[in-house]
Structure 1
Amino acid sequence: MKRETYKKFVSQRSHAIAVCGTTNELLWVFESKQQCTTLMGIHHSTLMKCMKTNTTYLNSFKFKIISSNNLLLYKEKEISVFLNLVKQKRSHFESYKYRNKKAQKVYAQHIINPLLSQVFESQRDCAKFLKVDRGTLRKLLNNTEEKCFRKVWKLRIV
């Protein structure tokens, strides 16, 4: 089958997806659900859930199915600008959504090279950086005696 014929069949069979802001201003139009999930990095079940329940994605985007005939009416903008907006909203949304309010900050002091010392937002972040399981990290933090992790790191709760 020729590529042009295949594209014609795909465009006839697919549904165009309009991405709107929270105030219903049009941000972008995708030719199909597949293109939307691929470029935005959204899972297809999340996309379908947002469309069925009319909820917002990342508290910023709404999805609507539009007819393919109306696809040509919308102005073309640069996709990179839109994708940067999605990336920015995703990083902001993830930074406050998944952070535990009761997380304890951990100060990891490097004994040999003080420039490597840093403060971590949670025990999880510290454990991830030091490549240690959280149980061992908790034991080190709760221990009152001056033990060093791997003979290099002094750990304490801030």
Structure 2
Amino acid sequence: MNIIKEITSKETYSVRQPVLRKGKPIESCIFEGDDLNTTHHFGLFNNEKLIGIISLFNKINTIFAEQNQAQIRGMAVLETHQKKGFGETLFKHCETYCNENKVDLIWFNARTAAVGFYKKMDYQPLGEPFDIKDVGEHYLMYKKL
């Protein structure tokens, strides 16, 4: 059985590290703003085991005019559970949360390899690809709610 519930930033590390920061120290899993009271971390549990995570930050990107924005960071699903719809489930959960909290726009920096996945959920890339140091090439993506 799958359940999504709010978790602490520290609880995300068990998925962030092997998926997003493979081979890097645990400190690389700490994101600026992780522990603000406006930041929300959600964990997807499969048979009580944490297999996927997503973090939602209350952060404005000045490229967009919308006043109520949220940034998604650190979406990851353990390798053994990928390509089974869990990532999409986490995104839908965040969209529902944002709709309930009057957020107008969701944006994030997507790894180039994941752009197709996000496009399937109606997120649009904006601008040219850019490099995030020690992580790789990304695109800015967004969706108006």
More strand by share: 2
**TM-score normalised by length of structure 1:** 0.20
**TM-score normalised by length of structure 2:** 0.22
Q: Which of the pair has the greater relative contact order for Cα pairs under 8 Å at 6+ separation?
A: 2
More helix by share: 1
Tell me which structure has the larger Cα radius of gyration.
1
